[in-house]
């Protein structure tokens, strides 16, 4: 059991997940893609619950990308319905978990916007895992916004170009309230970031698995964490320097 192998004193603070493979999982069973999303939504809830048990501080799930708006309307609307169904279950309230969203919320259907805003407000003082759903999110959208905000401050004389640091870029991203991901997991066999947290993953550890998202369970999360815990994070330093600091 991987769960027993997790070193609870060194759990990654922030785990980000690209939940890929719902469509292929459903197709392999001869079912519609939306069946895969429905099963995937249940896994998302299970993994969120596991994150609370493991004491992960932030869990960011890539739920709907800016590019996903190009999918067939029926599939988009099925994913939106799943959000309404599962966010209303108030798992966050039962487990004292915080809920946040990153992305272009204004593009979401009004009922989804309402639930998301209500849940953010309702859970803002919760102290267990912060569950962050990326909805209508893409890194390029987010970075473009950050550039516009910084440019506006320069234009208004609030800051000068020479004063801009990477901290200012951090502060103008939608993720400014959380640390960068320690561990980035992608299910479904592909090995790419697909416009997700590009800036924030500068020093993240990557974990790719062939497992389709609807088959990804608590044990798979623990396996990824054990793998992460067996790596040495050097942040550009030498292995010896990192060892000396221990
Ligand atoms: C990627 O698989 C998955 C998505 C684009 C949608 C993810 C949405 C959910 C799991 C529902 C979320 C609900 C909650 C409550 C968080 P894919 O469709 O791209 O799979 P494929 O690569 O096999 O086609």
225 and 6 in contact (C-beta within 8 Å)?
Answer: yes
User: What pLDDT, on the 0 to 100 scale, is given for residue 93?
Assistant: 86
Query: One of 7, 53, 68, 244 is an active-site residue; which one?
Result: 68
Cα(50)–Cα(222) distance, integer angstroms: 9
What global pTM score does this model have?
0.96
Is 181 close to ligand 1, i.e. is its CB under 6 Å away?
no
pLDDT for residue 92: 87
- Any atom of ligand 1 within 6 Å of the Cβ of 44: yes
Q: How many other CB atoms are there within 10 angstroms of residue 218's CB atom?
A: 17
Q: Distance, CA 34 to ligand 1 centroid (Å)?
A: 9
Q: How far is the CA of 236 from the centre of ligand 1 (A)?
A: 34
Q: Assess contact for 133 and 59: CB atoms under 8 A.
A: no
Residue located nearest, by CA, to atom 12 of ligand 1? 41
Total residue count of the chain as it appears in this document:
246
In short, whether 41's Cβ falls inside 6 Å of ligand 1 is: yes
Q: What is the pLDDT of residue 6?
A: 97
Ligand 1 atom closest to Cα of residue 38: 11
**Which residue segments constitute the domains of the chain, with CATH numbers given?**
9-138+180-230 (3.40.1180.10)
The ranges of the chain with pLDDT < 70 are 89, 245-246
Residue-wise DSSP of 59-101: EEEEEEEGGGGGS-HHHHHHHHHHHHHHHTT-HHHHTTEEEEE
Asked if 25 and 213 count as a contact pair (C-beta separation under 8 A), the reply is yes
- CA-to-CA distance for 6 and 200, rounded, in angstroms? 25
CA distance 147 to 169: 8
- CA-to-CA distance for 52 and 47, rounded, in angstroms? 9
142-187 residue pLDDT tens: 999 999 999 999 999 999 999 999 999 999 999 999 999 999 999 9
Q: Is 106 an active-site residue?
A: no
Indicate whether residue 20 lines ligand 1 (CB < 6 A). Answer: yes
Ligand 1 atom nearest to CA at 68: 5
């Amino acid at each position: 059991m991987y769960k027993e192998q997790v070193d609870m004193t060194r759990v990654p603070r922030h785990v980000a997940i690209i939940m890929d493979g719902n469509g292929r999982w459903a197709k392999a069973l001869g079912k519609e893609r939306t069946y895969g999303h429905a099963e995937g939504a249940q896994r998302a809830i299970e993994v969120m619950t596991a994150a609370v048990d493991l004491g992960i501080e932030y869990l960011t799930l890539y739920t709907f990308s800016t590019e996903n708006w190009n999918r067939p309307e029926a599939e988009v609307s099925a994913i939106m319905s799943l959000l309404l169904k599962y966010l209303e279950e108030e798992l966050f309230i039962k487990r004292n978990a915080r809920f946040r969203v990153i992305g272009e919320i204004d593009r979401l259907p009004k009922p989804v916007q309402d639930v998301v805003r209500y849940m953010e407000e309702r859970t803002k003082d919760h102290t267990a895992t912060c569950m962050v759903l990326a909805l209508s999110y893409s890194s390029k959208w987010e970075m473009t916004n950050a550039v516009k905000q910084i440019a506006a401050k320069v234009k208004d004389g609030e800051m000068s170009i020479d004063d801009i640091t990477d901290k200012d870029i951090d502060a103008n991203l939608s993720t400014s309230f959380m640390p960068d991901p320690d561990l980035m997991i992608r299910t479904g066999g592909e090995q790419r970031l697909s416009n997700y947290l590009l800036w924030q993953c500068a020093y993240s550890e990557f974990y790719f698995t062939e497992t389709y998202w609807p088959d990804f369970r608590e044990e798979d999360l623990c396996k990824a964490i054990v793998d992460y815990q067996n790596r040495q994070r050097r942040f550009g330093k030498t292995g010896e320097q990192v060892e000396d600091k221990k």
